[in-house]
Structure formats: C-alpha cells, structure tokens
Chain A
Amino acid sequence: GEDVEQSLFLSVREGDSSVINCTYTDSSSTYLYWYKQEPGAGLQLLTYIFSNMDMKQDQRLTVLLNKKDKHLSLRIADTQTGDSAIYFCAEPLSGYSTLTFGKGTMLLVSP
C-alpha cells in the first residue's frame, strides 16, 4: 500500500509562520493536495500543486514540492487562531480516482 507521512502536531504563536511537512510515495502523482479539517467538520480543500511545479503561492499559503525527495510542505504566513485545525496532505491513490491521506497534522495556534 501507499503511505503518506506527516508530523502529527505543530504549535505556533499567532503571527508566526507555520510549516507543515509531508512525504508521499507515488512519484507519478499528477497533483498533490492540502486539506483543512476543523473540529467536527468535513474536509476543505486549501490548495493543490501540480507535479511539474516546485512552488505555488496562494495568499498566505505557500506550497513547496521536492519531487526528488517526494516531500511536500505547506507554509502558512501570519498564522491566526482561526487556522487551528488538522491539515491533511493527500495524493491520488494509484489506480483509483480517489485520494490517500496522511494522518493529519494538528496545528494549534496560541494568542
């Protein structure tokens, strides 16, 4: 099977930058995704990156992709308390039109 690995917990102060890391397994993945899940809610697509890109920036979010190392990161600039949530990276499941997820990184932002 395929495993997507993430660190489980990150704590930052409001206003700092947060960096959430992920390693994936399928080098043929065309897209890689970041989702946000607030308590008791479904998943909200935050951003995605196409595999031929090294970086993508979308307002406070910056995604970096290192295909050689199969490493994906999500940087949140000026982190706010409302950013506290669980963040999942995901890649398409080989042979399926669905996704395989990491275990999620819980981001806790303190005032």
Chain B
Amino acid sequence: GAVVSQHPSWVICKSGTSVKIECRSLDFQATTMFWYRQFPKQSLMLMATSNEGSKATYEQGVEKDKFLINHASLTLSTLTVTSAHPEDSSFYICSVFSDYGYTFGSGTRLTVV
C-alpha cells in the first residue's frame, strides 16, 4: 500500500516561534494530501486539503495565515505553524488517498511552551 512518512514525530518549541511539519508520500504521487489535528481524547478534525501546485483549501475556523500549507511537489506537503502559542499544542497528522485507500502519517506531537 501507500507509504506516508511524517517528520518530525514530536517537537517542542517556544511560544512565538514557527514550526514546520513535513509529510512525504514515499511510493505514490499524491496530488492531494490532507492535514488533520487531534486534541487529547478527541477525534481527528480535518484542517485543510493540500493541493499540489495550488492553494490549500482550509476548513471553516482554521486560520490560513497561521497554518501555512505548501504542496510544492507530488510527494511532499508541509504544514508550518506560525507564531505558535500553547493552544496550538496538539497532534497533527497528514493523510493521502490512493488506490490503496486512505493512508496516514505517524503524526507529529507539537508542544508549545
């Protein structure tokens, strides 16, 4: 099946700094990738749909200027949390849809201190 690699697995950053999370599709060219956010003991909430070569589509309530998404190639999408604050601390997961169905990255635990 499709293999999705997400990096880093966890990151701790200071309030006000920016953090970049990478999502790579290792064996599949993904024109579309999805970014989810998961708060503790909560379900996954779709944040945005990342489209290769064009602007991302953000879900209602997600600040596009805060969560910058770049999908510059068919195998890489990045999510940058800008000017991070403690309330941005969460688990971020990317996903691709291929002939093998929906495949998820291993997730990134972001802690903002």
Show the binding face of A for B, using Cβ within 8 Å: 31, 33, 35, 40-45, 48, 88, 90, 93, 96-104
Contacts and interface: CB of A to CB of B under 8 A. Distances in A.
Given A88-B43, A102-B43, 16 more contacts: A31-B101, A40-B91, A40-B109, A43-B93, A43-B95, A45-B102, A96-B49, A97-B97, A98-B34, A98-B49, A98-B95, A98-B97, A98-B102, A101-B44, A103-B42, A104-B43
Nearest to B33: A98
Q: Which of B32, B42, B104, B109 has the most CB of A within 10 A?
A: B104
Contacts of A31: 101
B43 A103 contact: yes
Contact of A42 (B6, B32, B34): B6
A6 to B, nearest CB: 9
Contacts of A44: 104
Contacts of A101: 43-44
Interface in B51-109: 91, 93, 95, 97, 101-107, 109
B6 A99 contact: no
B43 A48 contact: no
